[in-house]
């Protein structure tokens, strides 16, 4: 899905609430410009929907579970291969919040190799249902 389509779907998903499609999105990005543009669309949509917004980089997680909240939208950026050990832990924790029906969303941005490695991680089977936004700029 391209960036404009994803932005529209994210806006709709934030209005629909827990479990809506774009509330779990993976974004492989080639460069910092692409990352910035995807994040700006997410920030705008999340702020307009009055959801709490959290942002982390992969290296801020370390080897432990990050500060995942039970409500709000988390932007996790700079996911690269090899994965920081805390990245799959944090993403798996997000899945548990979704299963509980909590109003949460997650956008994971990183290199194509980082996103592919995350998808291939044994605990990440649910990522097959994730939206994938492609920056074409």
Task: Specify the pLDDT at position 53.
Answer: 96
In a domain, 43, yes or no: yes
In tens, the pLDDT along 38-48 reads: 999 999 999 99
In a domain, 105, yes or no: yes
In a domain, 137, yes or no: no
CATH of the domain at 125: 3.40.50.300
Q: Domain tally for the chain? A: 1
Structural domain that includes position 83: 3-132
Q: pLDDT-based confidence at 54, cuts 50/70/90?
A: very high
In a domain, 87, yes or no: yes
In a domain, 109, yes or no: yes
CA angle (78 as vertex; 84, 105 as ends), nearest 5: 95
Q: pLDDT-based confidence at 62, cuts 50/70/90?
A: low
In what side-by-side order are the strands of the sheet with 104-110? 53-57, 72-79, 104-110, 24-28, 131-132
Alpha-carbon distance of 29 to 34, in angstroms, equals: 6
Alpha-carbon distance of 53 to 71, in angstroms, equals: 9
């Amino acid at each position: 899905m391209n960036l404009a389509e994803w932005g529209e779907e994210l806006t709709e998903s934030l209005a629909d609430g827990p479990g809506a499609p774009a509330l779990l999105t993976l974004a492989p990005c080639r460069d910092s410009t692409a990352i910035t543009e995807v994040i700006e669309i997410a920030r705008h949509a999340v702020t307009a929907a009055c959801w709490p917004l959290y942002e982390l980089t992969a290296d801020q997680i370390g080897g432990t579970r990050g500060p995942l909240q039970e409500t709000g939208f988390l932007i996790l950026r700079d996911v690269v291969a090899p994965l920081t050990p805390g990245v799959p832990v944090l993403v798996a924790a997000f899945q548990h919040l979704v299963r509980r029906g909590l109003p949460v969303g997650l956008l994971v941005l990183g290199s194509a190799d980082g996103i592919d490695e995350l998808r291939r991680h044994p605990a990440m089977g649910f990522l097959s249902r994730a939206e994938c936004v492609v920056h074409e700029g």
